[in-house]
Amino acid sequence: MSKFKKKKGGDLPAISTASLPDIVFMLLFFFMVATVMRQNTLKIENRLPKADQVEKLAKRNLLMYIYAGKPSSAYKDMGTVARLQLNDKFASVSEIAAFIAAERDSKREEEKPFLTTVLSVDKETNMGLVSDIKQELRKVNALKINYKTAPGNPIDK
């Protein structure tokens, strides 16, 4: 009879964690593939305005980024007026021409006509700064621009 006796109070078998590394590796590979390393460290606040009539940006390597906004809390000594950031540094509007020239030089000849300037501007910036940037871009003939926005309907707030 003891053959059919249920085991009672036996120790629970340990849950096998042998497949745990596999699962973690799978997640790891997903994040490795999906990761885009930030090119620049932002020194300014950059909360983008919302828009819904957006178009996808072209290839990443054909984009030139210009950031603008108030200096972030770590750079309070720069004041509270909106500033421009090119690459990793605060810059003035007059430095845009040199920045665009340097970016153009680093690209292949056949890619140059497709270069787009992305304006990544904080939503609380005044238009004065943005128009100065646009004037400067017109001077160096970098006419294709893109206002980077966050997805969402701009009207219902």
Q: Quick one: 1 or 14, whose CB is closer to other proteins?
A: 14
Q: Residue 9, by phi and psi: left (phi above 0), alpha (psi -120 to 50) or beta?
A: left
Q: Quick one: 12 or 26, whose CB is closer to other proteins?
A: 26
List the x/- string, 9-28, binding to other proteins by CB under 8 A.
--------x--xx--xx-xx
State yes or no: residue 105 binds other proteins (CB under 8 A).
no
Find the length of the chain.
157
Q: How far is the CB of 85 from other proteins (least distance, A)?
A: 15
**Tokens (6 digits) for 87:** 């690459």
By CB under 8 A, name the one of 12, 15, 74, 127 that touches other proteins. 127
Taking the CA atoms of residue 102, residue 103, residue 108 and residue 114 in that order, the dihedral angle to the nearest 10 degrees is -140
Residues in 47-66 that interact with other proteins by CB under 8 A: 48-57, 60
Distance CA 63, CA 149 (A): 15
